[in-house]
Structure 1
Amino acid sequence: MSIADRVKSSPRLKSLVLYLLSVPGEARPRLWVKWFVNPFRHKYGRRSLVRWRTRMDVVPFNNFSLGAESVIEDYATVNNGMGDVHIGARTFVGISNVLIGPLRIGNDVIIAQNVVFSGLNHGYADLNIPIKDQPCTTAEIIIEDEAWIGANSVITAGVRVGRHAVVAGGSVVTKDVPPYTIVGGNPARALKQYRPETGQWERVK
């Protein structure tokens, strides 16, 4: 049994490791982890950039990667505590975005301001337990290459946004978005699709 498996199988040992790695009651790593562990554990591509006002709540027991020439702008928050976060090459993560794993973002993606990606959901079914204390479930969000996510949008757990798709500003995306499709609204619905036979973006009837 590996060390990681041993830790996961023992509640007491898992609690101890979490205490040593992260600030109690907060979803952020301790400073010693941020300074001396994460730089060697996580991957940053050539000429990638994380602005200094970004909150990087990334822990070493899950993965984080940022592709070549990608940028994470100021006031964004990245959290891999519940699942890996991978960002491809030449992707732009806008100001004040929130990225909560599990999340995989492809290459050449544009993400505008104040977008929320949350790969987790809190349980709420048991009325005898506060929602904050109930177990969380996770489902990976996938944003395929060349997608454009408009400002103030919310992408919920388990959603896949297809290649070269567009999410209009202010949308709440609760279902998969096909490639080459524009969606908008709350909940988001298809507005236009690219038709290869006409070479045009046409309204969805």
Structure 2
Amino acid sequence: MKQRFPAMLRHKLSNISLSLRKKYYRVLGMQINNGVVLGKIKCKWPGKISVGAESVIEDDVVFKTPQPFADTNFVNIGQRVFIGHGCDFNITLGLTIGNDCLIAANTTFVDAGREMHRSLPINQQPVIHKPIILKNDVWIGTHSVILQGVTIGEGSIIGAGSLVNKSIPDYQVWAGTPARFIKNR
């Protein structure tokens, strides 16, 4: 009985912490629907983020939106989405995640890059911003990187440790660096 009481107390404190965290982010403008489990995330501009019902975002997920006043800068997370711990979202233009998606731990999303011309130093090259779209029922393996302008088709799977630098059709499995077609799902 002695061990059960501390466990129950820890559970109650955890629920209170989750409730307070959700209220805090709602006050700052984050749209959080019913049944969302929100871990200890880092988010500078939560007003640009919408989380669908019954989604789970684990601890240590970072949302970076460096252009907070741009209308096109947003992160829309669908319903029943799972985002594993340690994921990093560097979004300057837009990210849409469909319903029923699984994003494994330590995955990175970057929607900006640079052009590469010999006439200018790399730090003076124009920045390219293109949105990222994950359609419904997508699974991204751990430690993957998804780059700007990529659309991952419905029902597709990305293998662990992949670098996705081009769009992927519906119901296909891709893996590798850079990601390449493995098979149809």
Distance 1:81 1:163 in 2: 29
Aligned to 2:167: 176
What CA RMSD, in Å, does the superposition of the two structures yield over aligned residues?
2.4
Encode CA deviations 1:113-165: one digit per residue, 9 max, x unaligned: 1100111114565876672x765321000011110000011000000001110
Aligned to 2:127: 136
Q: Which among 170, 191, 198 is matched to residue 182 of structure 2? A: 191
Would you say 1:41 and 2:26 are equivalent positions?
no
Would you say 1:69 and 2:60 are equivalent positions?
no
Shift of 1:178: 0.7
Aligned to 2:154: 163
Name structure 1 gaps, 5 residues minimum. 1-34, 195-205
Distance 1:156 1:50 in 2: 25
The number of aligned residues is 156
Distance 1:59 1:137 in 2: 24
Which secondary structure state, in structure 1, belongs to the residue aligned with residue 27 of structure 2? helix
Shift of 1:49: 2.3
Contact 2:81 2:100 in 1 (8 A): yes
Distance 2:75 2:25 in 1: 17
Would you say 1:56 and 2:43 are equivalent positions?
yes
Shift of 1:64: 1.4
Contact 2:28 2:46 in 1 (8 A): no
Amino acid at match of 1:162: G
Shift of 1:58: 2.0
Aligned identity (percent) is: 31
Aligned to 2:20: none
Aligned ranges for residues 96-175 of structure 1 at < 5 Å?
96-101=86-91, 102-122=94-114, 125=117, 131=123, 135-175=126-166
Query: How has the CA–CA distance of structure 1 residues 183 and 46 changed in structure 2, closer, same or farther, with 3 Å as cutoff?
Result: same
TM-score normalised by the chain length of structure 2: 0.75
Distance 2:158 2:136 in 1: 13
Distance 2:168 2:25 in 1: 37
Shift of 1:56: 1.2
